[in-house]
Homo-oligomer: A and B are copies of this chain.
Amino acid sequence: MIKNMIIGQSGGPTAVINSSLAGTVEYALQSETIGKVYGMLNGIEGLLDNNIINLTEMFKSMPHELNRLKHSPAMFLGSCRFKLKGEEEEFKRIFRVFDSYNIGYFIYIGGNDSMDTVKRLSDYAKEHGIDISIVGVPKTIDNDLVGIDHSPGFGSAAKYIATCVREVAYDTSIYSIKSVHIIEAMGRDAGWITAASVLARQDNMTAPHLVYLPEVPFSVEKFVEDVRKKLSELNSVIVVVSEGIRDKDGNYISARQDKGDDLFGHARLSGTAAYLKDVIEREIGCKVRALEPSVLQRSAGHLVSLCDVNEAFNLGSVAARAAEEGNTGVFSTLRRTSNKPYCVEYGLEDVAVVANREKFVPREWINEEGNDVTEEMVTYLKPLIRGVAQTPYRAGMPDYIDIRHLDVKMQKYKN
């Protein structure tokens, strides 16, 4: 009997997680083994609430929308922050829904936590002799997943942060006064995105001039000294710091905040860059700006890496094929086989490898002083931001897909 597929998305958004969804759907729609393709809204939570849509019907009637999906950021199906409690009743509820939709293939696109869900559900299915293939598709802007050369989503975040640095460098280069810009990149524990800011360098543009990753203990005193030294050589100094830098005792620099209460009796908290801005203003006294691109760096569909979009799409297809072939408890992955030219090979890996672990920047890819990265890092990063994607535009604006709008359209067709 032909079994159906269900797909879910989970965790934080990236600019290319929908490309993985498009890759999975496109493969599944063409498969003769896989029946209908369903989507669970808001991950496992939506599954448990029977919040399920028919993706076959949606994309067979609007096939061009699959291409828009490929180029739209964030999460078409919505997300959740669901963690399995591991109770028998919970497993039973989940597999009851799978059974009611005749699901033989479950693809879960997400990060660490989602891979843990894949592992536990596939273990349960094996133990109870349930015939279902459960396969993960990795994603995260942080690039901290193990078992894969680099995470889909990272290349686009890398390109965004490097472009920010380059444009800030152009913006500030027009004046001949001394200034410092401190840009805060995402990545609480792993400094990959911060490191990628060095891709802004080109010809005589040397920004960023200082780069601080969470992998190296941060000293505020050393930082001030570094900035002072750079200011003696340059008019405009551009610094990139990870949101997660910590002192030698492991305390977040961003937590070293103004202990005084605000007007309303609340302690003020602000970001790492904002804190360091105060420090430089006090210690050096030049013009300082703190910039925190925040969520803009993870959902900038208009500035994605084409390499990233395509790899995310392929990882979706590879997962669908793996499920179709009966694999379970695995995730689709890629291995870099060559740097010149850049080539990758797709494959599968046991989810146990990735679940609940983190990949940090190796210390030898950070310079000795701890304020820059090495050439090995640059070689690793360079191919990942390549290529300009064909972002769909309408009326001058990126024209992303929106499930709420498609839903309305679908209802119209049904009448």
A399 surroundings in chain B (CB, below 8 A): 202
Query: Would you call A376 an interface residue if the criterion is a C-beta within 8 Å of the partner chain's C-beta atoms?
Result: no
Tell me how far the C-beta of A214 lies from the nearest C-beta in chain B, rounded to whole angstroms. Answer: 21
Let me know if A291 and B302 touch, CB within 8 A. Answer: no
Let me know if B174 and A78 touch, CB within 8 A. Answer: yes
Query: Would you call A130 an interface residue if the criterion is a C-beta within 8 Å of the partner chain's C-beta atoms?
Result: no
Q: A203-B405, A291-B296 are in contact. Are A302 and B396 (CB under 8 A)?
A: no
Tell me how far the C-beta of A264 lies from the nearest C-beta in chain B, rounded to whole angstroms. Answer: 5
Tell me how far the C-beta of A351 lies from the nearest C-beta in chain B, rounded to whole angstroms. Answer: 23
A199 surroundings in chain B (CB, below 8 A): 395-397
Q: A13-B171, A163-B302, A166-B397 are in contact. Are A268 and B258 (CB under 8 A)?
A: yes
Query: Would you call A205 an interface residue if the criterion is a C-beta within 8 Å of the partner chain's C-beta atoms?
Result: yes
Restricting to A61-120, which residues have a CB under 8 Å from any CB of B?
A: 72-75, 78-81
Let me know if B300 and A294 touch, CB within 8 A. Answer: no
Query: Would you call A42 an interface residue if the criterion is a C-beta within 8 Å of the partner chain's C-beta atoms?
Result: yes
Restricting to A333-392, which residues have a CB under 8 Å from any CB of B?
A: 382, 385-388
- Which of B202, B264, B296, B396 meets A293, CB within 8 Å? B296
What is the interface residue range for chain A against chain B?
Answer: 35 or more
> Whole-angstrom distance between the alpha carbons of A55 and B168 in the complex?
25
Tell me how far the C-beta of A408 lies from the nearest C-beta in chain B, rounded to whole angstroms. Answer: 7
Q: Lowest 5 CB-CB distances: which A-B pairs, in order?
A: A260-B260, A171-B299, A74-B170, A385-B396, A386-B396
- Which of B75, B159, B203, B260 meets A262, CB within 8 Å? B260
Q: A162-B397, A176-B42 are in contact. Are A301 and B167 (CB under 8 A)?
A: yes
> Whole-angstrom distance between the alpha carbons of A113 and B59 in the complex?
55
Let me know if B402 and A205 touch, CB within 8 A. Answer: yes
Tell me how far the C-beta of A105 lies from the nearest C-beta in chain B, rounded to whole angstroms. Answer: 23
- Which of B163, B174, B291 meets A294, CB within 8 Å? B291
> Whole-angstrom distance between the alpha carbons of A395 and B307 in the complex?
11
Let me know if A268 and B278 touch, CB within 8 A. Answer: yes
> Whole-angstrom distance between the alpha carbons of A166 and B173 in the complex?
29
Residue interface bits A277-295, CB-to-B below 8 A is 1, else 0: 0100110000001011111
Tell me how far the C-beta of A85 lies from the nearest C-beta in chain B, rounded to whole angstroms. Answer: 19
A interface with B by C-beta (< 8 Å): 9, 13, 42, 72-75, 78-81, 159, 162-164, 166-168, 170-176, 181, 199-200, 202-205, 256-264, 266, 268, 270, 274, 278, 281-282, 289, 291-296, 298-303, 305-307, 382, 385-388, 393-400, 402, 404-405, 408
Q: A73-B170, A303-B302 are in contact. Are A204 and B268 (CB under 8 A)?
A: no
Let me know if B167 and A299 touch, CB within 8 A. Answer: yes
A79 surroundings in chain B (CB, below 8 A): 174-175
Number of copies: 2
A9 surroundings in chain B (CB, below 8 A): 174
Q: A199-B397, A260-B258 are in contact. Are A295 and B302 (CB under 8 A)?
A: no
Let me know if B78 and A295 touch, CB within 8 A. Answer: no
A181 surroundings in chain B (CB, below 8 A): 295
Let me know if A396 and B305 touch, CB within 8 A. Answer: yes
Residue with the highest number of chain B CB atoms closer than 10 Å, among A163, A167, A405: A167
- Which of B78, B260, B382 meets A395, CB within 8 Å? B382
A175 surroundings in chain B (CB, below 8 A): 78-81
Let me know if A176 and B78 touch, CB within 8 A. Answer: yes
A398 surroundings in chain B (CB, below 8 A): 163, 166-167
A202 surroundings in chain B (CB, below 8 A): 394, 397, 399, 402
Let me know if A301 and B396 touch, CB within 8 A. Answer: no
Least CB separation from A181: chain B residue: B295
